[in-house]
Structure 1
């Protein structure tokens, strides 16, 4: 599945600081790219900006690296919600280079969280409804 086929996309220009001694994007930076896509998508879903829209904590993140990315390239990150549970939800990511090549794929699990009370909370019905509205019949890819 191509990045533009995901429910939401962001573009990220690879900065010099993102690269390592080997000249390509350092593996840890891909998690930052996914974080950018994740936070922008959740803010879009909640129609709010800032920390008020992000009532969640990251419980798990993984990334499969498929090809290197380099300084100056513009990457496209596709993101979608693949599962919603009682208190958590999963997201999937596709990162592509400017030529359409697959650079990386990722997954993450977020837990809805009440920062004032200090504990997890159920996924709000409004969030579930908004995901259904935005994503429609979209089906996540099978990760390899």
Structure 2
């Protein structure tokens, strides 16, 4: 029996409300001269941290911190140097103590990698997960994933 065929997802950068650009660095490459798989975790981290830690967005409540609880990456195309990448992020779910994201890295107009990530809000004193304050939930609303 053959395994079921799953449709290849379509990724559109415009579905991700938070977007930033970055340069591919020579140091990002592996012996095959494309971006090493481990570097994508850093690209995705850059997207999340740039959103969460920007004081203008108000997503860092006093006395709390965010930690990564889950990261799954699918590699879809090579990225080479020199070049630039576009990163997109959309919130896919808001839980009691966590926020889930879908993220993409685009290069030359096509999706090179996609990821699902979950960050958990920690109380700085107890180091335990903390319920998301209502104002933080509200401040995440503009970053909800579109259309996908």
Q: TM-score range by the shorter chain?
A: 0.7 to 0.9
- Check if 1:92 corresponds to 2:102: yes
Aligned to 2:139: 130
Aligned to 1:120: 129
Does structure 2 conserve the Cα–Cα contact (< 8 Å) formed by 1:59 and 1:110? yes
Residue pairs, 1:35-74, within 5 angstroms = 35-44=45-54, 47=57, 55-74=65-84
Deviation of 1:53 (Å): 9.5
TM-score, L = length of structure 2: 0.83
Q: CA RMSD in A?
A: 2.4
- Check if 1:139 corresponds to 2:134: no
Per-residue CA deviation, residues 77-109 of structure 1 (Å, 9 max, x unaligned), is 000110001011101101100x21110000101
Does structure 1 conserve the Cα–Cα contact (< 8 Å) formed by 2:67 and 2:122? yes
TM-score, L = length of structure 1: 0.85
Change over 3 Å in CA distance of 1:53–1:11 after alignment to 2: farther
**Unaligned stretches of 5+ residues in structure 2:** 1-10
Residue pairs, 1:73-88, within 5 angstroms = 73-88=83-98
Structure (1 or 2) with the larger CA radius of gyration: 2
- Check if 1:105 corresponds to 2:105: no
**Unaligned stretches of 5+ residues in structure 1:** none
What stretches of structure 1 move > 6 A for 4+ residues in a row?
49-54
Change over 3 Å in CA distance of 1:51–1:39 after alignment to 2: farther
Aligned to 1:22: 32
1: CA distance, partners of 2:44 / 2:30: 18
